[in-house]
Amino acid sequence: MNSDSERNPHNPKAPSDCDQTGSASNRREFLRGISAIDAIRRESEEANQNKENNDTTNSFSRDRQSGYLEYYSKNAMACEFEVYFNLHQYKHSGMATMDAFQLIDLLEDQLTIYRDHSELSEINREAFENNVRVESRLFELLSLAHTIFRETEGAFDITSGPLTRLWGFEKRNGNLPDPTKIEKLLPTIGSNHFNLRETDSTISFELPNLMLNLGGIGKGHALDRVKEMFGQRELENYVIHGGQSSVIANGSSINIDASEFQSSSDSQKPTSTLNPGWTVGISHPTLPGQRLAEVYLRNQALGTSGTARQGFYHQGKRYGHIIDPRTGWPSERYLSTTVISPSAALSDALATGFFVMPHESIKTYCENHPEVGAIIVSENPAAKSRVAIETYNLTKDSWKRLN
């Protein structure tokens, strides 16, 4: 699953906003905090079974501590949000998570384009005719998207939604469009066609049919906002997933500070080796049920993009759902792109942007942004597991290849 999707509430198969844990029994356990060890193990086993069928996303590694985690989940933004804490570490984790899920609901109601009353829908309707005042945090998000658009030379673009619709990917009914329609649509695409004015937090469009869609950055923004909330509640150690393609990991899965168990023989070892944080698995893009690598996150976010699960064939050629907004055609460069950074919104957006960028451009971006790391997976029949991996700004102890 890619972070570019957004749930259409008119789709009867879409998850319900009201379903916080997936079943009545699970909902009751959620309200009790899921503190019982059997509930945690059952939920972890079910989550692991579900994720074995997902061949393009990353998953949280529960192999070592699956029975020692406190788990909560909720459907929103066309995906399942999951929260994990160390078991029994925080007495107020349940109430904090319920507040976080309410925040995610509010953010979805603000950011979706599938509800006429949402703030983003109002912007899309009004911003060509008027300067539209934008809520402060949404203005920050739009500014971030605009900056990433510039820094990736248009590879990440929140105005590219009409291309996704033209190719049929919005409703997961992909089809090859008439190339002349692509050419006609391209002049209406581009984040350079909207203006943000910081003096009064307003936005305006230069084109009448411009449309913003935050599907490629909205889930990450939600994770970042939840991280802020947890920080205010003095929650330090946790992992949050947004649809398994977006992850934010804070603190460590070890419920002891590294300084408390560091021995004299360990004094020369880096803190990351002693207390690596949380392990997140990156699934193999062509071998279902297998992990390609593991990444060790501590106070970091991770986003993954890939096309293995969304695409279609036409006359023997496969077209994936990630479209280069500069050409209007699906990208064929990579099998998956994973980005690690301090922000989930940034990781999500860059994972999408990197997917359509050449290696040299990715290398240049990472050289200019040392806080951003990347794992780029390409097809190579002669290589191990038939894939080749390029990494940027990652140390040897921050990740491990498995296949």
Per-residue pLDDT reduced to its tens digit, 74-102: 999 999 999 999 999 999 999 999 999 99
Q: Locate 235 and state its tokens.
A: 């929650």
Q: Using CA atoms, how far apart are residues 266 and 274, in angstroms rounded to an integer?
A: 8
Question: pTM higher than 0.75 for the full model?
Answer: yes
In 382-400, which positions are buried (b, 16+ CB within 10 angstroms) versus exposed (e)? eeebebbbebbbeeeebbe
Query: What pLDDT, on a 0 to 100 scale, did the predictor assign at position 244?
Result: 76
Handedness of CA 320, 343, 363, 284 (dihedral sign): negative
What pLDDT, on a 0 to 100 scale, did the predictor assign at position 85?
Answer: 96
**CA gap 39, 70 in Å, rounded:** 9
Give pLDDT < 70 ranges for the chain.
1-67, 255-276
Nearest to 227, CA basis, from 64, 81, 370, 78: 81
Q: Determine the pLDDT at residue 24.
A: 34
1-403 topology per CATH: T-fold (3.10.520)
Average model confidence (pLDDT) for the chain? Answer: 82
Residue-by-residue DSSP string for 214-275: -TTTHHHHHHHHHHHHHHHTT--SEEEEETTTEEEEES-SSSS-HHHH--GGGTTS-HHHHS
Strand partners, 324: 329
CA 320/CA 335 separation, integer angstroms: 10
Question: Rounded to the nearest 10 degrees, what angle do helices 344-355 and 218-232 cross at?
Answer: 160
Domain boundaries, the chain: 1-403
Q: In what order do the strands lie in the sheet with 399-401?
A: 58-60, 278-283, 291-297, 399-401
